[in-house]
Amino acid sequence: VAGTNDSRTVHTRVAIVGGGPVGLSAALVLHRFGIDSVVLDRDTGTTRHPKARGCNPRTMELFRQWGIEAAVRSRGLPESAEPAIVVESVAGPELGRVVPEPPDRAATPAWTCHVTQDVVEEELFAAASACPGIDLRFGHQVGAIEQDAHRAVVRAESAGGPVTVEADFVVAADGASSETRRHLGIGMVGPATLGTWANDFWQGDISGLLRGRQAVSFVVVPQDEHAPTSMLFPSGGGRYLSWTQLGPDEAADPALWTADRVRAAIRRQLGTGDADITLLGQAVWRMSSQLAETFRAGRVFLAGDAAHRFPPTGGLGMNTGIQDAHNLAWKLAFVLLGHAPDALLDTYEVERRAVAQDNADWSVGNASRITELVAGVRSRDLDRIAFWLRDMENHIHQSGRALGFRYAAGAVVDDGTTAQPLNSRVYEPSDRPGGRFPHLWLDLSRTQSTLDWFDTALTVVGGPDSSGWEGAVEKVALETKVPLAYRRLPHLSADHGIAMGPRGAVLVRPDGHVAWRTSWVPPDQVATLSAAVTATLGGAVR
């Protein structure tokens, strides 16, 4: 899928550097607010590499709102696919399986989808292409960004010559080796090398070896303890991705990882000497766990891999990045539309840095869990293998983390209650400020969710006897000129973690996170709500 359009100087509200999953998501959310953007990507099309292979429930909820959930899901693996099958080789004996996470249909209208990143990018690109306010310019390599008090200027090179984009703000979503980040002099903090891996993408017919097994991954632990551990990811269309942990020599000099060695390693992984393999791509990468020193430099905001790099043992890189874009875009839109002061934009880093650090640390923990599983498998002690296979569920079963992440500070008003510790495995719904407002079906046919209430406005969600809030919402909307809607819950359900009470209310942000809560009716509803809106948006509303 290639971008179009070519003219020398372009004016837009937001320039987005990088048309990967994060940049395209940012453009789609801005479009919902009527904010135009220009997306610049150095490649001529979206990725052909499978890269990430999982969209967690929160990402799928966003895709549901953007109208691409069904298309993405139809191209993914079935829910019953095994997350990991542990084998000596793909053809050889099977040593165990990690069971899939049971879908929690009460928690979300859009469960996890095991789908590769090339598919996700194609669907995001198609959706963005259909939006008149999004100017997709692929084949544009960004070189420099300048900024002053009034605007940012992005300079790019294209086949048609240099192009300049003038914008109010820039989203730098140009990936782990972000040139924008380097250009701004922003360093990375955290361990740069936790291991060195080869990432080999190839094509071949191994359907006979798979024997009908549908797996997200095969963890290959050869009996020979000197042979490397590896992983195989079926990627659709007869394409496979093989990861091999490199020894010290190859890690020091990746040129030693030649095409012949790659083919030999893949054949060892498959357990067959005669597989016909066509190499499609090779890369050597260092597993790291790092965050950018800052996510903001004036008018430029880092998002996705440009802001954080995690070990892939968590499946959170793309998911966290897409959710960064969702957090940042409504704030940019509110500031550009005059609904909020610039201070709202500082809450992006406050909120997303904490989430990114937690996801990075958790992914590092999962990497050591895999090391233990491999040691267990090599010991051939069945109790030890069974223990580590069960423990792997703490990595794979992660809907508590995917849906339960919350913001302790930022565009959130503390209501004095104490947060429960986050349980990565089990989602505990709550209407406490900072968390995503819980999902409840609103109709018997299960098409309308409470999540559908949150899009481009702040929303007051009241309990079943909260009609007094409706008038307050109208008055505050008139007074502040901030888009504000009122919704009444049909019923309260402790199962859904709604603690606001029948006459209480919460204020929910456009990204679906609760900003403020009261469980009683204050003496002056208008003044209280007005203060909550002002505090959420970062001070005096313009």
Q: Among the candidate windows 34-42, 161-169, 291-299, 369-377, which touches ligand FAD by CB under 6 A?
A: 34-42
- Contact between 100 and ligand FAD by CB under 6 A: the answer reads no
- Contact between 497 and ligand FAD by CB under 6 A: the answer reads no
Pick between residue 46 and residue 430 the one whose CB is nearest to ligand FAD.
46
* Residue 263 near residue 277 (C-beta atoms within 8 A): yes
Q: What is the largest CA-CA distance in the chain?
A: 79
Q: Among the candidate windows 172-180, 356-364, 378-386, 425-433, which touches ligand FAD by CB under 6 A?
A: 172-180
- The distance of closest approach from Cβ of residue 432 to ligand FAD in the complex, given in angstroms and rounded to an integer, is 26
Report which residue type is found at 424.
S
- Contact between 43 and ligand FAD by CB under 6 A: the answer reads yes
- Contact between 142 and ligand FAD by CB under 6 A: the answer reads yes
- Contact between 42 and ligand FAD by CB under 6 A: the answer reads yes
Whose tokens are 């359907």? That residue is: 207
Whose tokens are 């809106």? That residue is: 533
- Beta-strand pair 84-87/218-220: parallel
- Contact between 199 and ligand FAD by CB under 6 A: the answer reads yes
Question: Bridge-partner residues for 233, per DSSP?
Answer: 241
- Contact between 228 and ligand FAD by CB under 6 A: the answer reads no
- The distance of closest approach from Cβ of residue 539 to ligand FAD in the complex, given in angstroms and rounded to an integer, is 30
* Residue 410 near residue 344 (C-beta atoms within 8 A): no
- The distance of closest approach from Cβ of residue 116 to ligand FAD in the complex, given in angstroms and rounded to an integer, is 9
- The distance of closest approach from Cβ of residue 174 to ligand FAD in the complex, given in angstroms and rounded to an integer, is 4
Pick between residue 180 and residue 525 the one whose CB is nearest to ligand FAD.
180
- Contact between 58 and ligand FAD by CB under 6 A: the answer reads no
Pick between residue 40 and residue 90 the one whose CB is nearest to ligand FAD.
40
Rounded Cα distance, 270 and 89, in Å: 5
Among 117, 242, 327, 359, binds ligand FAD (CB under 6 A): 117
Q: Which is nearest to 345 in space by CA: 332, 326, 356?
A: 332
Question: Bridge-partner residues for 155, per DSSP?
Answer: 144, 164
CA-to-CA separations, 279 to 25, 136, 200, in angstroms, rounded: 31, 30, 7
- Contact between 319 and ligand FAD by CB under 6 A: the answer reads yes
- Contact between 96 and ligand FAD by CB under 6 A: the answer reads no
- Contact between 398 and ligand FAD by CB under 6 A: the answer reads no
Rounded Cα distance, 40 and 43, in Å: 9
Please write down the HEC assignment for all residues of 498-530: CCCCCCCEEEECCCCEEEEEECCCCCCHHHHHH
Pick between residue 216 and residue 532 the one whose CB is nearest to ligand FAD.
216
Among 27, 52, 90, 360, binds ligand FAD (CB under 6 A): 52
Pick between residue 35 and residue 163 the one whose CB is nearest to ligand FAD.
163
Q: Which conformational region is residue 392 in: left (phi greater than 0), alpha (psi within -120 to 50 degrees), or beta?
A: alpha
- The distance of closest approach from Cβ of residue 157 to ligand FAD in the complex, given in angstroms and rounded to an integer, is 9
Pick between residue 69 and residue 179 the one whose CB is nearest to ligand FAD.
179
- The distance of closest approach from Cβ of residue 484 to ligand FAD in the complex, given in angstroms and rounded to an integer, is 32
Mark residues 229-268: x for contact with ligand FAD by CB under 6 A, - for none: ----------------------------------------
* Residue 513 near residue 435 (C-beta atoms within 8 A): yes
- Contact between 41 and ligand FAD by CB under 6 A: the answer reads yes
Query: 244: helix, coil or strand?
Result: strand
- CA Rg, the chain, in Å? 24
Pick between residue 82 and residue 431 the one whose CB is nearest to ligand FAD.
82
- Contact between 3 and ligand FAD by CB under 6 A: the answer reads no
Gap between the terminal Cα atoms of the chain: 41
Among 6, 104, 133, 141, binds ligand FAD (CB under 6 A): 141
Per-residue DSSP letter, 4 = -
Instruction: Report residue 490 as tokens.
Output: 């049909």
Pick between residue 117 and residue 480 the one whose CB is nearest to ligand FAD.
117
Pick between residue 359 and residue 530 the one whose CB is nearest to ligand FAD.
359
Among 69, 174, 351, 431, binds ligand FAD (CB under 6 A): 174
* Residue 439 near residue 389 (C-beta atoms within 8 A): no
Strands of the 196-203 sheet, one edge to the other: 94-98, 84-87, 218-220, 230-234, 239-245, 196-203, 278-286
C-alpha torsion sign, points 48, 51, 55, 58? negative
Pick between residue 308 and residue 509 the one whose CB is nearest to ligand FAD.
308
- Contact between 317 and ligand FAD by CB under 6 A: the answer reads yes
Mark residues 297-316: x for contact with ligand FAD by CB under 6 A, - for none: -------xxx-----x--xx
Among 3, 13, 21, 510, binds ligand FAD (CB under 6 A): 21
- The distance of closest approach from Cβ of residue 100 to ligand FAD in the complex, given in angstroms and rounded to an integer, is 15
Rounded Cα distance, 224 and 222, in Å: 5
Q: 57-66 and 317-336 helices cross at what angle (nearest 10)? A: 50
Among 3, 12, 23, 33, binds ligand FAD (CB under 6 A): 23
- Contact between 109 and ligand FAD by CB under 6 A: the answer reads no
Please tell me the count of residues contacting ligand FAD according to CB under 6 A.
Answer: 33
C-alpha torsion sign, points 69, 74, 75, 79? positive
Rounded Cα distance, 472 and 532, in Å: 12
CB atoms within 10 A of CB 75: 16
User: Which residues of this chain interact with ligand FAD, rule CB under 6 A?
Assistant: 17-23, 40-43, 51-54, 117, 141-142, 173-175, 179, 199, 304-306, 312, 315-319, 321
